[in-house]
Amino acid sequence: MLEKLVIEGQHPLKGTVEISGSKNAVLPILAATLLTEGTSIIENVPRLRDTLTMIALLRSLGKDVDFTKNTVTVGGNKPLKHIAEYKLVSTMRGSFCVLGPLLAKLKKAKVSLPGGCVIGVRPVDLHLKGLKSLGVKFEVDGGYVIGDGPRMKGCQIYLGGVFGSSVLATANLMMAATLIKGETVIDSAACEPEIYDLGCFLSKMGAQITGHGTPRIIIQGVKELKGAHYRIGPDRVEAGTYILLAAATKSTLTLKNADCSQLVALKDKLEEHGVELQCELQTIVVKPKFIRRPTSITTYPYPGFPTDLQAQFMALMANTPGVSVITDKVFPDRFIHIAELNRMGAQIRREGSIAVVEGVRVLHGAPVMASDLRASAALVIAGLAAKGKTEIHRVYHLERGYEGMEHKLQKIGAKITRVKE
């Protein structure tokens, strides 16, 4: 049965939020367990809809998976299946990263074209381009990508795309290159912390890999990999969301298990806006100042301002008097949330890949519809800052990327409840 969130806005928030493990890191790391028959133990795994989908996919491919508390154990020595079914891959784009490990391990794969959030066209051309360079032959039939790679070998690959590097394509290429002959060099690789995490996990498995987290990754193929014990790093997007939530509600919040070094672009823009971030070890303290200024942003691949925080930043600017300009260079069509924010009294208009925000002094609660994961978080932020009651429908999107969000918010004083439609 569908559920909705009901929020009473403008209640003071104060306290500490524990940041969960990174969703965008755990998905490719779980996929990487397909590269070995050994047992892998992965800690700090967030219990999310996307995590459960990936676990179900691994089980369908022949793995034994246990998920207890926040630890996933992957093992089993049954023969792997090479077909990743539509019913699982179509619901989550991140599951497409099983393509690389299946090709590396089995030299063949049949993977459904991916699904996920409706945030514009997100083609898989860079994935296929890179894997073709390694010697894979592809055909697309009936909504499936079918790869054949008995003669795969290392080479040099340029992975840049129209909108920059691709995180998932980089992950697929890294995993595919670990078990093939020769040296693979990935130029214009994604530099996101999630790629660094994946590289560290692959190294623990016995992969010969250097440069992960930089634009050039070098991999020397090995004959086999073993299981590994690894702890997932903090979710920088979840941390950024709570930072923006604190800013929008003028609340002083403390975030635990958060890495400020991964949020430099956000920190810079918030200081321009009028919010101080105090960073120490794995703790971030958010301190909004009295004066708030309209602030423009442009999203770029890491270490630029994250596209996954664009909607949440827009919710903040919608409630900041003055004009802000928000440009998305990563996903230029990622503006579905504009219409819903405008239902709450925001004054936002879209001009191509640009959104012009004329901030208002107060937003007003209204019934709104969540369209995707990060738009859902933006509506939560707007609802907490708004005057009156906000009802957010289709909140199952939130469960894809935010572990227990309403419970974390209730602990810091938010008036938020989940009810059946």
Q: Decide if pLDDT at 362 tops 50.
A: yes
Strand partners, 64: 75
- Tokens matching residue 157: 């690959």
Model confidence pLDDT, tens digit, residues 204-262: 999 999 999 999 999 999 999 999 999 999 999 999 999 999 999 999 999 999 999 99
> Looking at domain 3-20+234-420, does it have CATH number 3.50.30.30?
no
Q: Which of 3, 8, 17 is nearest to 399 (CA)?
A: 3
Cis peptide before 46 (omega within 30 of 0): no
- Tokens matching residue 328: 């998305």
Residue with tokens 């369908």: 60
Please state, in angstroms and rounded to a whole number, the distance separating the CA atoms of residues 194 and 3: 31
What confidence score (pLDDT) does residue 290 get?
A: 83
Look at domain 23-231 and name its CATH class.
Answer: alpha beta
Between helices 99-106 and 167-177, what is the axis angle to 10°? 10
> CA–CA distance from 111 to each of 57, 76, 79, 94, 196 (Å)?
11, 21, 17, 12, 25
Catalytic residue among 97, 117, 200, 260: 117
CATH 3.65.10.10 segments of the chain: 3-20+234-420, 23-231
Helix (H, G, I), strand (E, B) or coil at 349: strand
Model confidence pLDDT, tens digit, residues 288-342: 988 899 999 999 999 999 999 999 999 999 999 999 999 999 988 899 999 999 9
Which letter does DSSP use for residue 4 in this model? E
Please state, in angstroms and rounded to a whole number, the distance separating the CA atoms of residues 343 and 294: 21
Beta strands across the sheet bearing 156-158:
156-158, 183-187, 216-220, 208-210
**Is 117 in the active site?**
yes
- What pTM value is reported for the model? 0.96
Q: How confident is the model at residue 121 (pLDDT cuts 50, 70, 90)?
A: very low
Helix (H, G, I), strand (E, B) or coil at 278: strand
